[in-house]
Every structure is written in C-alpha cells, then in structure tokens.
Amino acid sequence: MNHNQILGVSANAPKEEIQQAFRKAALETHPDHSDSPEAAEAFARIKEARDELMKRADASVEHDTVQHSTAAAVNATSNAAYSTSTDDSLFDGFTPEEVVYIQKLDRMAAQKPKRSLFHRVKESAEVRRHRNKINTVNRRINGQY
C-alpha cells in the first residue's frame, strides 16, 4: 500500500501537509459523513496512511537534527583545534541543543571503551573522531606538534 498515493502527498511532505491531506480525505470518507458501505474501511486506510507518514516525517526531522548537530560539533572541535584565543566565544553562534550535543560527545569521548577478552564493545565512529580531535588539540597544547 502506497501511503503517499492514498493521501495524495509527496514523499517528503511535511507534517502539516500530511495532516491537512488527512483532514480533507477524512471529511469525504468518514463513516459519519459518508453513506458508502466501504466508508469505514476507507477511513481506516487513510488513518493508517497518515500515521505511517507522520512517523516517517518525525524520523526524517530527527535525522536532520542529528546530522546538523553532528556537523556543528565537528566544526566546533575543529575550530577549537586551531583556535588560540582563551575567551568563551567557542560556542557563539550555536543553539543550546548543539552545545549540549557537543558536551555529550566530550563526555562520551572521555570515557574509555571497556574491553573484554571475549567481546569488544563498539563505539560509534563519531565518538572515535571526536576523541581523536581532542587528542590532537591536547598534543598541540603540549607542544608535541
């Protein structure tokens, strides 16, 4: 079942457009407004399509937010690696959510992954990159290169 065709919206439609299309279709097919014997079944399909598309829209928004925060964190750490100033302007231009995400990456990078003889705990590539950038900054501060 193609949920986009049922509601008549594009594949990357925002939540508002999905909800508006659902309301329009619901007025036509709701069992209370339609005398058609298939109205209940049609309304159930429309509702299912709306629910699925809303989940997808939420997931894409969350994915975009994580990508944006990740890019901001990478930029901040690379700027910190080359910055020589000692003022608190490192986080200027970042939203509070981005600052929290960078701080979360700092905490995760500070924790060493636990290793065992029987299995190895994997950490994300993002945390590994962040830890490497922190190590690079520390080496530069210590004059190692």
Instruction: Check whether 89 has a pLDDT greater than 60.
Output: yes
The domains of the chain are located at 3-60, 69-141
- Percent of the chain at pLDDT > 90 equals 0
d(CA 6, CA 57): 16
Q: Tell me what the mean pLDDT of segment 101-123 comes to.
A: 72
Kindly tell me if the per-residue pLDDT of 87 is higher than 60: no
Q: From start to end of 47-101, where are the E strands?
A: none
- Please write the tens of the pLDDT for every residue from 12-33: 788 888 888 888 888 888 877 7
**Whether 118 contacts 140, CB under 8 Å:** no
**What superfamily in CATH does domain 3-60 come from?**
DnaJ domain (1.10.287.110)
Q: The tokens 């590539």 sit on which residue?
A: 125
- pLDDT over 60 at 84, yes or no: no
Give me the residue label for tokens 């937010």. Answer: 65
Contacts of 144 (CB under 8 A, 6+ apart): none
Nearest residue to 77 (alpha-carbon basis) of 91, 59, 63: 91
The tokens describing 139, both together, are: 């080496």
